[in-house]
Amino acid sequence: MTRGLDFGLNLLAAIALWLVGRWAIRIGTSLLGKVVRRSGKVDPTLSNYLTSVVSVLLTILLILAILQIFGVQTTSFAALLAGLGLAVGTAWGGLLAHFAAGVFMQVLRPFKVGDTISAGGVTGTVKELGLFGTTIVSADNVVTLVGNNKIFSDNISNYSATPYRRVDLSAKIANSVDAVDAIERLKAAVQNVPNVLPNPAPDIGVLQFTPEGPLLFVRPFTAPANYWQVTCDTNRVILDTFRDAAYPTPETPVAQRHM
């Protein structure tokens, strides 16, 4: 009877300690994150990673404290963990690899929070770099958690690492159209597209010759954040420019059509 009562009291104490401890850890790590961010010396990527590490370490200490309530000595617990180290290491090998990759990414800094990247088969904006995985939000607002080791062991394309990107588009004109005139018209029109950079200037020329007519390349430059909007706006300008110039639609030659 007494043992049952003692166990019940210990259980209630453990539950209370867990609830209060987890609340204190959340408050503490939140304050730590705010202090680190306000210092201005640490970017959000490292700040989030540091708070995650601190949260995990404090949670481990909390668990050890709860075990002591039940009379489990932490030294014995540590010895037990050491004895099971090989088994745990084998079972958590992948998880530890993700953790190690996260550490290396913090050191090498291939990207930061807010960057648009393509990594681990996912393209989107980095929302958070956690202990074991990186959270990426795609352009269609889908949140994907990708393991750090998968990202670090593959190619990483960072579209936000440079101040501008080149938009690669093409436009075909009929053989009867003067290519020089079309290029000059496009240069004047594309320069007026919102968010297109004046320097480097848009690059327009003949990419190749096809049976239907010359294929022009149209390559304006813009800031990474405006890439897709400039892509859509430039396509619309190409269409409007050719329509205003009354250019004929490129058609496949009759001889080739009957082959």
What is the domain-level CATH number for residue 185? 3.30.70.100
Question: What's residue 50's pLDDT?
Answer: 72
Question: Are residues 236 and 186 part of one domain?
Answer: yes
Of 158, 191, 225, the domain-final residue: 158
Question: What's residue 258's pLDDT?
Answer: 46
Residue 87: pLDDT over 60:
no
Residue 146: pLDDT over 90:
yes
- Any idea what the CATH number is for the domain that residue 66 is in? 1.10.287.1260
Nearest Cα neighbor of 147 from 111, 120, 112 is: 120
Nearest Cα neighbor of 60 from 7, 100, 21 is: 21
Segment 221-258, tens digit of pLDDT:
999 999 999 999 999 999 999 999 999 988 776 555 54
CA distances from 197 to 94, 162, 172, 191, 224 (A): 45, 14, 24, 8, 11
Contact 13, 71 (CB under 8 A): no
User: What does residue 96 show for φ and ψ, rounded to 5 degrees?
Assistant: -65, -35
Question: What's residue 215's pLDDT?
Answer: 96
Find all residues with CB under 8 Å of 15, minimum gap 6, and list them. Answer: none
Residue 23: which domain range?
A: 2-83
- Any idea what the CATH number is for the domain that residue 121 is in? 2.30.30.60
**Overall average pLDDT of the 196-212 stretch:** 95
Contact 172, 210 (CB under 8 A): yes
State the pLDDT confidence band at 27, using cuts at 50, 70 and 90: confident
Question: Are residues 149 and 208 part of one domain?
Answer: no
Question: Are residues 237 and 169 part of one domain?
Answer: yes
Across the beta sheet with 133-137, the strand order is 143-147, 133-137, 122-129, 116-119, 157-158
Question: Are residues 146 and 226 part of one domain?
Answer: no
Contact 129, 45 (CB under 8 A): yes
Q: Determine which of 38-52, 93-107, 145-159 has the lowest per-residue pLDDT on average.
A: 38-52
Question: What's residue 4's pLDDT?
Answer: 63
Question: What's residue 71's pLDDT?
Answer: 65
Of 142, 158, 174, the domain-final residue: 158
Give the CB-side neighbour count of residue 73, counting CA atoms within 13 A: 3
Q: Determine which of 47-56, 153-162, 223-232 has the lowest per-residue pLDDT on average.
A: 47-56
Is residue 98, in this structure, part of any structural domain at all?
A: no
Of 158, 189, 219, the domain-final residue: 158
What pTM was computed for the model? 0.64
State the pLDDT confidence band at 39, using cuts at 50, 70 and 90: low
Task: Name the domain count of the chain.
Answer: 3
Contact 77, 9 (CB under 8 A): no
Question: Are residues 200 and 148 part of one domain?
Answer: no
Is residue 207, in this structure, part of any structural domain at all?
A: yes
Is residue 228, in this structure, part of any structural domain at all?
A: yes
Is residue 40, in this structure, part of any structural domain at all?
A: yes
User: Angle of helix 93-108 relative to helix 44-69, nearest 10 degrees?
Assistant: 140
The average confidence (pLDDT) of the chain is 83
Q: Determine which of 70-79, 176-185, 194-203 has the lowest per-residue pLDDT on average.
A: 70-79
